[in-house]
Amino acid sequence: MSEPYQPVIIGFLCNWCSYRAADLAGTARLHYAPNMRPIRVMCSGRVEPDLVLKALREGADGVLIAGCHPGECHYIEGNLKTLRRFVLLQRLLRQFGIEEERVQLVWASASEGTVLAAAVNRMTEQLRAMGPLRWRQNVLGGNGHGPAQVVSQPVTLASEEA
């Protein structure tokens, strides 16, 4: 029997609510899936779509963005900007053929360690059921661009010509 597949999630946690929620989950010794690797940002509003795509491209199977609840943002409404951006990003991901569950947005206040832990657990299970993302094969390959090495070929060709 082989070990269950372990998806890797990059978690963007806002400094004021969600990172503190994660701190609280730890302090309360809530054991949850160790599959989320955290990055602290000052506000979820800082998370640009590029960062999410970068994570998926570099081998993450999913990205979790966590911010303060609407109306409770430390920066008044940065989380609403995140929400707006997130909806657009999801549309883009759909066009890439990436399942919606791979990029998730949750609100977790500083007191909601349980909410954050539950979100990580849930997402891990969903990704486990879906299997690895395999950006280069499934996204680039499926998009007609072929594997990444092909993309870099014109550069070598250009240098040969020179």
Partner 1 sequence: MEEKVGVYICHCGTNIAGMVDVKEVAQWASEQPNVAVARDYKFMCSSLGQDMVETDIKKLGLTQVVVAACSPHMHEKTFRGACQRAGLNPFMFEMANIRELDSWATDNHAAATQKAKAMIKGAIARVMLHQPLEALRVAIDPHTLIVGGGIAGITAALELANAGYPVYLVEREPSIGGHMAQWDKTFPTLDCAACILTPRMVDTGQHPNITVLSYSEVEGVEGYVGNFTVTVRKKAGYVNQELCTGCGICEEKCPKKVVDDVFEAGLGTRKAIYRPFPQAVPKYPVIDVKSCIYFQRGKCKACQIFCPPGAIDFEQQDQLLKLQVGNIIMATGYDPFDARRIPRYGYGRLANVFTSIQFERMVNASGPTGGRILLRDGATEPKSIAIVHCVGSRDENYNEYCSRVCCMYSLKFAHLVRERLPNAEVYNFYIDVRAAGKRYEEFYHRVMKEGAHFIRGRVAEVTDAARTPDEEGKLIVQVYDTLFGAQRRIPVDMVVLSVGMESRHDARKVVQQFGLGCDMSGFFTERHPKLDPTLTMVEGIFIAGACQGPMAIPETVAQGGAAAARVASMIGQGTVVMEPIKAHIDADQCSGCRVCNTLCPYNAIVYHADQKVSEVITALCQGCGTCVAACPSSSITGAHFTREQLMAQVEGLLWDVRELEMTE
CA dist., res. 74 & res. 118, Å (int): 23
The region of 47-55, 87-95, 96-104, 123-131 touching partner 1 under the rule CB under 8 A is 47-55
The region of 94-102, 122-130, 131-139, 154-162 touching partner 1 under the rule CB under 8 A is 131-139
Backbone angles phi and psi of 135, in degrees to 5: -50, -50
Among 5, 26, 129, 153, binds partner 1 (CB under 8 A): 26
The region of 3-11, 86-94, 98-106, 153-161 touching partner 1 under the rule CB under 8 A is 3-11
Q: Contact letters (x/-) for partner 1, 88-107, by CB under 8 A?
A: --------------------
Among 66, 89, 117, 139, binds partner 1 (CB under 8 A): 117
Nearer to partner 1, 88 or 129 (CB): 88
Among 10, 103, 106, 115, binds partner 1 (CB under 8 A): 10
DSSP 30-85: ----TTEEEEEES-GGG--HHHHHHHHHTT-SEEEEEEPPTT-BTTBSHHHHHHHH
Cβ atoms of residues 64 and 104 within 8 Å: yes
CA dist list (Å): 65 to 57, 103, 146, 154: 16, 8, 29, 36
Cβ atoms of residues 15 and 107 within 8 Å: no
CA dist., res. 58 & res. 134, Å (int): 10
Nearer to partner 1, 65 or 160 (CB): 65
Residues in touch with partner 1 (CB under 8 A): 6, 8, 10, 19-20, 22-27, 29-35, 37-43, 45-48, 50-51, 54-55, 58-60, 71-78, 81, 85, 117, 134-137
